[in-house]
Amino acid sequence: MKLTGFTTLAVVAALAAGSAPAAELVFPSLSYRTGPYAPNGIPFADGYADYFTLVNERDGGIGGIMVRVVECETAYNTEKGVECYEATKGEGALVYQPLSTGITYQLIPKVTADDIPMHSLGYGRTSAANGRIFSHIFNYPANYWDGASHAINHILDLNGGNIEGMSITLLYHNSAYGKEPIRTLQELTAKHGFELTLLPVDHPGQEQKSHWLQIRREKPDYVLMWGWGVMNQVAIQEAANIRYPMENFIGVWWSGSENDTLPAGEAAHGYKALAIHNTGTDYPVYDDLQTHVLDKGLAAGAGDQIGRVLYNRGFYAGMLAVEAAKTAQEIHGVAEITPAMMRDGMEALVIDEEKMTALGMPNFGPSFAVSCENHGGPGLGAVQQWDAHAQTWSLITDFGVSDKAVVDALIEEDSAAYAAENNITPRCN
C-alpha cells in the first residue's frame, strides 16, 4: 500500500513557521496509479485532485477552510483498498470515493459504523440508492441498473420501440462490477422479449478470442459491454477484427473513454458508450483551471488528460464533493464540518443547471437532487459516440430517465434483503 498526500501551501507555510497548521478539510483519494487498471485510474485521480487544488487556489478553500487530498494507492485491489481506508480514516476523512465496486462492497458496513459517507459515482452497490437502508452510501447521479436500462432504451429508440426476438449479448468483466447489470437485463428481457447471452471475461480481460468467435458465429443484434481497463481496448479491437458493426456495440460509462478507443484507430469509429456527464474542455471552469492550477505547475498529472472522459469524471466527482461540503456548511452553520455533517450535506445536495452554470460547467452533467429516501438521484444517463476522425466523444442523445418501474422495484427488493440480513430498521419515516 502506497500512501501519499497533496498538502496545501497553507499547511506547508504553517509548518515552516513553527506554528500549528490551520484547520483543513480532508478528502481521501483511493487511487490506482499502478497495475493493469492504472491507465484508467490515473486520469480520474488527476481530475479529482485538480478540482480541489483549483478550489484552494481560486477560492481559498471551501468556506474559507483549505482542502487536503490524501491519496492512497489501491492498485484496484479490494484488500489494499480496505487497508487504505483504515490508514486514512483517522485523518478527518470527510468522504470516500473508492473507484471500485469490490472495494465499495467491503467498505459499506465500515463507513456506516464509522459515520463517514461514501460516494460511489455510477458504480458500487446499486441498491445503496435506497437511503432508507443505506444511510451513508450515495451513488448519484445514476447507477448500474439505470445504465442497463439506458442501453436497452437506446436500442428500443433505434428500433421503433420493439425489440422482441432480437439478440443481445452482455460482455462483462467477471467481477462484482461486471455482474451488476445482469439481473436488470434479465428483467428487461422478460419485459421486451429479447434474447440475452452472457459472456464473462476474466481479469484483467486480455483473453477474449473465444468470446468474439462466439459473437461472430451467433451474430447478436447488439453487444453491451461492462468492461474496465485493458478489457475495453481488447474488446473493441476484437470487434473490429470480426467486422462487428461498431454502432451496435454499446459500453457502460466505464467502457467509454479515449483509453478504450484510441488503440484501435479508425476501426473504433462509431462505437458507443453510456455517459453520466459531458466531455471536452469547452467550459469556463477550464479557463480557471489553466490560470490557477496548470500555469502555477500545480496539476496532479502531466496535464495531457484534461478534458478526456475519465479526467472529467474525476473533476466532476470533486465538484460534487465540494458542493456537498458547502451544503453541509450551510446546514450546520460551521465551516469546519465533520464527516457526519458531510453526510448531511450529501443527502441534501441539489445540482441544477443554474448552479452548474455558476460553477463554470454549463451543460456538463444532468440536474438532480438527493434526499433521505433517494441517494441515487433520478438515474439520468445519455449515450455518447466515438468519432475516430476527430478523436472525440460526443453526446448523441439527451440525458434521459431509466425504466424506473423495473429499476426501483429491484432496488427495493435487494435493499430489503440487505436490511433483513443486517437487522437494519428503515429510516426517513
List Cα–Cα distances, 278 to 140, 254, 265, 296, 329, in angstroms.
16, 14, 22, 26, 28
Q: pLDDT at position 3, please? A: 55
Instruction: Look at residue 410 and tell me whether its pLDDT is greater than 70.
Output: yes
Q: Tens digit of pLDDT for each residue in 234-277?
A: 999 999 999 999 999 999 999 999 999 999 999 999 999 999 99
Instruction: Look at residue 10 and tell me whether its pLDDT is greater than 60.
Output: no
Q: How confident is the model at residue 1 (pLDDT cuts 50, 70, 90)?
A: low
What's the average model confidence in pLDDT over 34-51? 96
Q: How confident is the model at residue 388 (pLDDT cuts 50, 70, 90)?
A: very high
Q: How confident is the model at residue 5 (pLDDT cuts 50, 70, 90)?
A: very low
Q: pLDDT at position 408, please? A: 97
List Cα–Cα distances, 391 to 144, 306, 308, in angstroms.
27, 14, 11
Q: Which of 305, 279, 269, 307 is nearest to 382 (CA)?
A: 279
Q: How confident is the model at residue 360 (pLDDT cuts 50, 70, 90)?
A: very high
Q: Taking every pair of C-alpha atoms in the chain, what is the biggest distance, in angstroms?
A: 73
Instruction: Look at residue 81 and tell me whether its pLDDT is greater than 70.
Output: yes
Q: pLDDT at position 21, please? A: 53
Adjacent-strand bridge partners of 344: none
Q: In angstroms, rounded to a whole number, what is the distance separating the alpha carbons of residues 51 and 28?
A: 13
Q: How confident is the model at residue 19 (pLDDT cuts 50, 70, 90)?
A: very low
* Percentage of the chain exceeding pLDDT 90: 93
Cell representation of residue 276: 453520466
Number of other residues whose CB lies within 10 A of the CB of residue 423: 6
List Cα–Cα distances, 335 to 11, 62, 175, 327, 330, in angstroms.
17, 8, 40, 10, 8
- Answer for the pair 289, 300: CB distance below 8 angstroms, yes or no: no
Burial label for 353, CB within 10 Å (0-12, 13-18, 19+), is: middle
